[in-house]
Amino acid sequence: MPSDPLVHSNCCGGESLELAARFLIVDDHPLFLEALQLAIQSAYPRAQIVEATSIADAKRTILEDAPFDLVMLDLSMPGTRGFDGLIELRALHPRLPIVIVTALDDPRIIHEAMTCGAAGFIAKSARKADLANAIRDVMGGSIVLPAGYHPPRPNTPPDDAAVMLRRLQTLTPQQRRVLQMLRQGKLNKQIAHELDVGETTVKAHVSEILRKLNVASRTQVVIEVSRVDFDKLAAATGDDVPPRGP
């Protein structure tokens, strides 16, 4: 059984009737956990902070201990690969903003995190004051990105996009429906419920989608397919144009 998340409250009783903001930190490194706690408390002295040291803990906490105002997520978490943790947490609560706080600062990673629905990206190397300011900005509705960040130039030439389009055309109608739900960040259990099939069937569809599209993971599917013109796919297959996200 996973251990219960830790809760830290820095509330000063009687100072204000305003409810304290609630944060969920998803990180398994004690030093970074402490640094993020200090940054949050600098920005919001009355904040309530909940910790989760795995994606499984985070999912359980979001389901059982909501609501939260902001999630701060490290990409390098045990039991998950790439952006799968971000996608899974967004699927549980699409309106809950999730900020990536990580030691990884490659522009391609930042770009892909934002493509997967992150509300911002903060480098762990940032100073406490900068972290606190970034947290305030995200809480105010802004998207926060590292200073000097520039989106990478598209590296998918038209021919590669055409190849992916042809691969998508090999999917069956049911596989295209599963693919669209993957793009929306839904889990196998949710897909199975919506399609009224078993999870084993959904897993088989996902495996076939990965094989036919020649990609290695669900995350890569989302990234690669986001570059395809779905109007062309719909015209080629006779499908309705699928919605573009949750």
Cross-strand pairs, 47: none
DSSP collapsed to 3 states, 150-213: CCCCCCCCHHHHHHHHHHHHCCCHHHHHHHHHHHCCCCHHHHHHHHCCCHHHHHHHHHHHHHHH
Average pLDDT, the chain: 80
In a domain, 243, yes or no: no
Q: Are residues 26 and 128 in the same domain?
A: yes
Residue 229: CB partners within 8 Å, gap ≥ 6?
161, 165
DSSP state of 149: -
Sign of the alpha-carbon torsion through 8, 10, 15, 16: negative
**High-pLDDT (> 70) share of the chain, %:** 80
Q: How far apart are CA 202 and CA 220, in angstroms?
A: 18
Q: Can you tell me which residue has the tokens 């993020």? A: 36
The confidence band for 73, taking pLDDT boundaries of 50, 70 and 90, is very high
Average pLDDT over residues 41-69: 92
Which runs of consecutive H residues, i.e. helices, occur in the chain? 30-43, 55-65, 84-92, 107-115, 128-139, 158-169, 173-183, 188-195, 199-213, 218-225, 230-237
Model pTM? 0.59
Burial class of residue 182, CB neighbours in 10 A (0-12, 13-18, 19+): buried
Domain count, the chain: 2
The pLDDT, as a whole number, for residue 202 is: 92
Q: Domain of 206: which CATH number?
A: 1.10.10.10
List the CATH number of the domain containing 100.
3.40.50.2300
Q: Pick the residue with more confidence: 241 or 158?
A: 158
The answer to whether residue 197 sits within a structural domain is yes
Q: What are phi and psi of 98, to 5 degrees?
A: -125, 120
Mean pLDDT of 40-48: 93
Question: Cα–Cα distances in Å, from 14 out to 11, 17, 18, 46?
Answer: 9, 7, 10, 11
Check: CB of residue 185 under 8 Å from CB of residue 90. Answer: yes
Please check the confidence at residue 197 and state whether its pLDDT lies above 60.
yes
Asked if 11 and 133 sit in the same domain, the reply is yes
Q: Does a structural domain hold residue 147?
A: no
| Residue-wise pLDDT tens digits, 6-37 | 444 444 443 333 468 999 999 988 888 899 99
Domain presence at residue 22: yes
Q: What is the mean pLDDT of residues 138-163?
A: 75
* Inside any domain, residue 152: no
Q: Which domain holds residue 223?
A: 158-237
- Which residue type does 19 have? L
Residue 144 inside a domain? The answer is no
Q: Please tell me the predicted confidence (pLDDT) of residue 229.
A: 60
Question: Does residue 101 sit in the same domain as residue 214?
Answer: no
Distance CA 43, CA 133 (A): 7
Assess whether 170 and 50 both reside in one domain: no
Please report whether residue 244 resides in a domain. Answer: no
Same domain, 126 and 22: yes
